[in-house]
Amino acid sequence: MHQKLVKSFTINGKSKSTLTNYSRCLAHLALHYKISPEFLDKEQIDDYLFHCKTLQNSPSESFFKHTVYGLRAVYKISEMNQRKVYLPEIKQDKSLPEVMSLKEVKKLIQAPKYLKHRLMIATLYGCGLRSYELCALKLSDVDFDRKTVFVKKQKGRLDRYVPLSDHLARGLKKYIATEKPYVYLFNSQVTDNGNPLPITVRAIQWVIKENRSKTGSSKKITAHTLRHSFATHLLESGLNLIALKELLGHVRIETTLKYLHVCNTGSSKKYSPLDLLYNK
């Protein structure tokens, strides 16, 4: 079944990260029953999903969601579409993103001891990257002459160029000269028979977890918080929504619109009537 999923995802151009998430959750399901998921009946699926929701140390909501989506993919490639109607509906998350202030971002970038870690955080924020996009960045993707970073299509199926700030460029040049990474911009400490491997998403998560307390912020800071902050700060500085959509690599403008609810500038600038009352 896994090979069928790999073939389907490859043909349809779906991201490797999505395939990894689906496969991981389906593997847990298969181990639970010791049988491949396509052979499970509705009652067994319902029992497992109930188990996921009610267990004291239950998996995360994303684990539950990826299990359902993974089952839908399995039913589709197995031509068992009638079973999809029995799966629970996954409601779209409409919560607004957490956004850091400029001061908090600066503190986070300055927090790590090692230059490599500081630049990993700075590149995430400065280019508005997803974690796996940072992992996949190669040295050849960074153009210091044109001041651009090439982000190869993965999620969203869109290649894109994002600006490379002068400040980030100076830091990367120093890092490349001293650390001498090869192939990937940020190499892992392990290799595959001498061949370079990129850093992992888990490594990025570790760097941020180790340093977020140093910002003095009580916000839940993750790698994606930096991407949300990148988008919000650009909108607040006057960038138009269409340009932001292209920088973020969104397929649909509706995905980008959520940042209008977060930014505090222009006609969207929010204020309290207390200011009107006491500023007179």
Catalytic residue among 28, 107, 138, 155: 155
Residue (of 38, 18, 35, 32) closest to 81 by Cα position: 38
CA angle 246, 154, 76 (to 5 degrees): 120
CA angle 235, 241, 243 (to 5 degrees): 100
For residue 69, indicate whether it is catalytic. Answer: no
For residue 259, indicate whether it is catalytic. Answer: yes
For residue 224, indicate whether it is catalytic. Answer: yes
Catalytic residue among 117, 227, 228, 245: 227
AA identity, residue 190:
V
Rounded Cα distance between 51 and 58, Å, is 8
In contact, 98 and 105? CB cutoff 8 Å: no
Buried b (16+ CB within 10 A) or exposed e, 83-98: beeebeeeeeeeeeee
Phi, psi of 71, deg, nearest 5: -65, -40
Alpha helices in the chain (DSSP H): 2-11, 16-33, 42-54, 61-77, 102-110, 115-127, 131-136, 166-179, 201-211, 223-236, 241-248, 253-257, 273-278
Please state the separation of Cα 155 from the chain's center in Å: 9
Assigned token pair, 170:
């100076």
Catalytic residue among 65, 116, 224, 258: 224
For residue 233, indicate whether it is catalytic. Answer: no
Please state the separation of Cα 99 from the chain's center in Å: 15
Catalytic residue among 117, 130, 160, 228: 130
Rounded Cα distance between 199 and 226, Å, is 18
Q: Which residues are catalytic?
A: 130, 155, 224, 227, 250, 259
